Amino acid sequence: MLKADTNGILLCFTDISKSKGEAPVQPQLHFPKTLQGDHNRSFKDEWYTIHPWLEYSISEDSTFCYACRHFSLPGHVESTFTGSGFKNWKKATYTDGGKEHQIAEKNQGSLMGQLNKEYNKTVEENRGYIKTLAEVVLHCATENVALRGHRESVASSRKGNFLGMLNIIANHDEKILKKMHGPRNAKYTSPDIQNEIL
């Protein structure tokens, strides 16, 4: 059944990516041969390396451009690689497309770059937080100071040395404060975690 995606491109294939969140579909298999001219020709999986934006539809024995399908500006699509699929294997040593393809790849790169930047930022924040937790635990252990207090609830005024020191640090470090007030399963301040750090 045919249906249009957000760019108005007709899609009828269920074995290629359906959204920007999915990776290009690049199956590794023995591709069917088709008589083209006087030779039997087929898709070659090494083309994925040369053109990482390629997707292959097993059901249609055709290739599609992942970037053009998901990142093209409305009205700026090349129908062969977005709608009907490319399967002229005799002419398959094409270059990296025209202007519309280059714009779509740039748009894809921008999104991927933003996602990677945000991911790297989160990883660095998490590493910094865990490093701070480890330093507080190590300091308490080195000074032979008990980590935990009588009650470690939020309302308690006697939370123990570990949480007390962490609260002092959080007063001066926004990233630590954010983690301390984050989801309970992402605080890493439980007695079990403290023991694991030791």
148-176 per-position pLDDT tens digit = 876 666 566 677 888 888 888 989 998 88
Do 79 and 154 fall within a single domain? Answer: no
What backbone phi and psi angles, to 5 degrees, belong to 40? -85, 125
Question: What is d(CA 1, CA 47) in angstroms, rounded to the nearest whole number?
Answer: 29
- State which amino acid sits at residue 127: R
Give the rounded percent of residues in the chain with a pLDDT score beyond 70. 71
This prediction has a pTM of: 0.45
Question: What is d(CA 78, CA 102) in angstroms, rounded to the nearest whole number?
Answer: 11
Residue 42's domain comprises 3-102
Do 150 and 76 fall within a single domain? Answer: no
Give, for 92, the enclosing helix (H) or strand (E).
Answer: none
Domain boundary among 34, 68, 102: 102
pLDDT of residue 78: 63
**Region of residue 188 (left: phi > 0; alpha: psi -120 to 50; beta: else):** left
Question: What is d(CA 198, CA 186) in angstroms, rounded to the nearest whole number?
Answer: 19
Do 18 and 41 fall within a single domain? Answer: yes
pLDDT of residue 119: 81
41 forms beta bridges with 34
Is the distance from CB of 105 to CB of 137 less than 8 angstroms?
no
Do 92 and 152 fall within a single domain? Answer: no
Do 97 and 175 fall within a single domain? Answer: no
pLDDT of residue 95: 55
Do 121 and 97 fall within a single domain? Answer: no
In this structure, is residue 108 part of a structural domain? Answer: no
Is the distance from CB of 187 to CB of 124 less than 8 angstroms?
no
Is the distance from CB of 158 to CB of 150 less than 8 angstroms?
yes
Strand positions, DSSP E, the chain = 3-4, 10-11, 34-36, 39-41, 54-57, 62-65
Question: What is d(CA 183, CA 160) in angstroms, rounded to the nearest whole number?
Answer: 21
pLDDT of residue 98: 64
pLDDT tens digits in sequence order for the chain, 198 residues long? 333 444 444 445 678 888 777 888 888 888 888 888 888 888 888 888 888 888 888 888 888 888 778 777 666 566 666 777 778 887 766 655 666 666 666 666 666 666 677 787 888 888 999 999 999 999 988 888 888 876 666 566 677 888 888 888 989 998 888 888 888 788 888 778 787 888
pLDDT of residue 8: 44
pLDDT of residue 150: 64
Do 67 and 120 fall within a single domain? Answer: no
